[in-house]
Chains A and B, each alone.
Chain A
């Protein structure tokens, strides 16, 4: 009997992380709009993975001037663009760019932002003041303006857009990580780890990072939506993805010019951006509620 009693906590400790993540996933699914968000995102993710399978024409080479600027039909579900290319095929391939740019740029912002924020919050003092003044000063520049300048500096294109959007996101993650680290570093078990002589790196990786993960996950989800809009804005302004590569922002740029002839070319790319960003925002909101038990009890307000 005594053996069983001793073994039980060990089993609980091993399984606890899995249970916690399962509990969060269960809470997310119970939020009113989260299943809808997951459904939308799942559809777009599958669309981008199987773009070559579900495309009806080649998005770049299949051009037909005689079919240019046509509305939706059985042959072209979402109509055609000014070169007679199939809009459905271009939107399906465009989802790859948008999701990929979103993912990479948020990762860039997250990695650098968290490194800066955690260092500032944990070390404190003059280094903290210096790093935070720098992030504050970057923050004073409107994100799109900064992304435009960086993209122009690095050169037009997808990769440089990702870097630019990532850099613009750094201050957001840095400030959030710093604020969370400031409270986490005073927790009893962090102080205990310090007293026991754990190295700074070990304290940061094993104790601080897992503790500050929740707000960062929420910010990453919301940041994905913002990154997708910024990428589309850069492509719309002509400095992001370059023709003939299909991208939602680029489709909207050309669709805008031919809107009077065929409004569908301006409506569908925007709708795709809107739905994806909406889904990321719903997911971010659901994650925020699921990861914060106080909010979960109040109904996610």
Chain B
């Protein structure tokens, strides 16, 4: 197993290096000169000051040197300084990343709690009323734009029923109740699409497994339906579900961009939108890198879980 994990980590390295190059290159993708942006319109006309700022930021050096310097600092935890609020990006990341992680974790748990039982029941009773209804809900969940769904939730639960606060965020350690109240709607908004995808995957892979010969053998041995499903079928059916789950983490992180914007949650998703629109280069670089590494890490975890569930994989 350890060899398999090491192999996967080594395979990840080239993609990780390319991801850092793309994150670094974003600074050249966004319009405008960072030195001009920092100095502002008034000071930008002073040529000496402008050149000094470029030198201070290291923009006068060759690109590979700039990249290696940025990579070295990033590896040491120095993500630069925000051009907008002049705060260290690392500090901003420390404040915002846990917020997004809490949102993503809640959404993930919610998605699994809905998707697994619904998918299993659908597969055990294919073409039943439950199966048709849950398939339609899943199709709807996949097509539902999460920003529209979030808006509908706000209208229903905050404006009409006044059960929940419409937006905002309170840290868990300050007030756990307020924190959970404000996390309910964003988690449902972000988790619904994922639960729909997972439900469809659970249903189709379990249906596939239930028709395998070893299922017939298990039933022929006299095992109960529950034992057949839980003991034999589910573990095998979960393999593609875990893979899809790993791939969908990107959707979850990307979805946080818009969900956090609707619900005014101070996570890295909203930070990304604000920094892109304000051309805050160091923040854009840092957020995009963290998001890309998050996706890569999730895929690695999925691969490890995949090998754990199906021992044949790491013996190959």
Query: B15 touches which one: A136, A150, A282 (CB < 8 A)?
Result: A136
Q: What separation, in Å, do the CA atoms of A52 and B139 have in the docked complex?
A: 33
Taking a contact as CB atoms under 8 Å apart, the answer to whether A142 and B251 are in contact is: yes
Q: When the two chains form their complex, are residues B204 and A301 in contact, meaning their CB atoms are under 8 A apart? A: yes
Task: Give B295's nearest chain A residue, CB to CB.
Answer: A140
Contact A133 B18, CB 8 Å, known A140-B296, A142-B291: yes
- Name the residue on B nearest A298 (C-beta): B207
Q: Is residue A233 contacting chain B, with contact meaning CB distance below 8 A?
A: yes
A277 is an interface residue with CB less than 8 A from chain B: yes
In the complex, what residues of A have CB within 8 A of residue B98's CB?
none
Q: Is B220 an interface residue (CB 8 A)?
A: no
Given A136-B15, A252-B148, A259-B151, also A145-B288 (CB < 8 A): yes
For chains A and B in complex, what number of residue pairs have CB atoms within 8 angstroms? 128
Within 8 A of B (CB), among A236-261: 236-239, 252, 255-256, 259-260
Q: Is A72 an interface residue (CB 8 A)?
A: no
CA distance A133 to B12 in the complex (A): 10
Is A106 engaged at the interface, CB distance under 8 Å to the other chain?
no
Residue of B15, B155, B296 touching A259 (CB-CB under 8 A): B155
Interface locus among B44-52, B271-279, B303-311: B271-279
Q: Which of B70-78, B179-187, B253-261 contacts A (4 or more CB under 8 A)?
A: B253-261
Q: Does A270 contact B (CB under 8 A)?
A: yes
Cα–Cα distance between A231 and B255 once the two chains are bound (Å): 14
A contacts with B: majority SS: helix
Shortest Cβ distance from residue B86 to the other chain A in the assembled complex, whole angstroms: 21
Find out whether the CB atom of A150 lies under 8 angstroms from the CB atom of B144: no
Given A233-B258, A274-B148, does the pair A137, B18 have CB atoms closer than 8 Å? yes
Whether, in the assembled complex, B140 has its beta carbon less than 8 Å from a beta carbon of chain A, the answer is: yes
Nearest residue (CB) in A for B269 is A145
The residue from A140, A225, A267, A301 contacting B250, defined by CB atoms under 8 A apart: A140
Contact of A232 with B145 at beta-carbon distance under 8 Å, contacts A145-B254, A270-B151 already known: yes
A278 to B15, CA, bound (A): 34
- Residue among B143, B262, B288 with most chain A CB within 10 A: B143
* Closest residue of B by beta carbon distance from A263: B155
B residues 272-316 with Cβ under 8 Å of A? Answer: 272-273, 276-277, 279, 284, 287-288, 291-293, 295-296
B273 near A148 with CB under 8 A, answer: yes
B19 close to A (CB within 8 Å):
yes
The answer to whether A260 touches B272, judged by C-beta atoms less than 8 angstroms apart, is no
- Kindly list chain B residues whose C-beta atoms are within 8 Å of the C-beta of A137: 15, 18-19, 21-22, 292
Minimal beta-carbon separation of A44 from chain B (angstroms): 14
- For B161, the chain A residues whose CB sits under 8 A away are none
Closest residue on chain B to residue A146 by CB atoms: B288
Task: Say if the beta carbon of A10 comes within 8 Å of chain B.
Answer: no
27 contacts between A and B (CB under 8 A): A133-B18, A136-B18, A137-B18, A139-B295, A140-B296, A141-B288, A142-B291, A142-B295, A143-B254, A148-B273, A149-B29, A152-B30, A152-B279, A225-B143, A236-B258, A237-B273, A237-B277, A239-B277, A252-B148, A252-B151, A267-B152, A270-B152, A274-B143, A278-B139, A281-B142, A301-B204, A301-B207
Residues of B within 8 A of A (CB): 14-15, 18-19, 21-22, 26, 29-31, 126, 139-140, 142-145, 147-148, 151-152, 154-155, 159, 204, 207, 250-251, 253-255, 257-258, 261-262, 272-273, 276-277, 279, 284, 287-288, 291-293, 295-296
Known pairs A136-B18, A141-B22, A225-B143 / 5 extra A-B pairs, C-beta < 8 Å: A133-B18, A137-B15, A149-B26, A274-B140, A277-B143
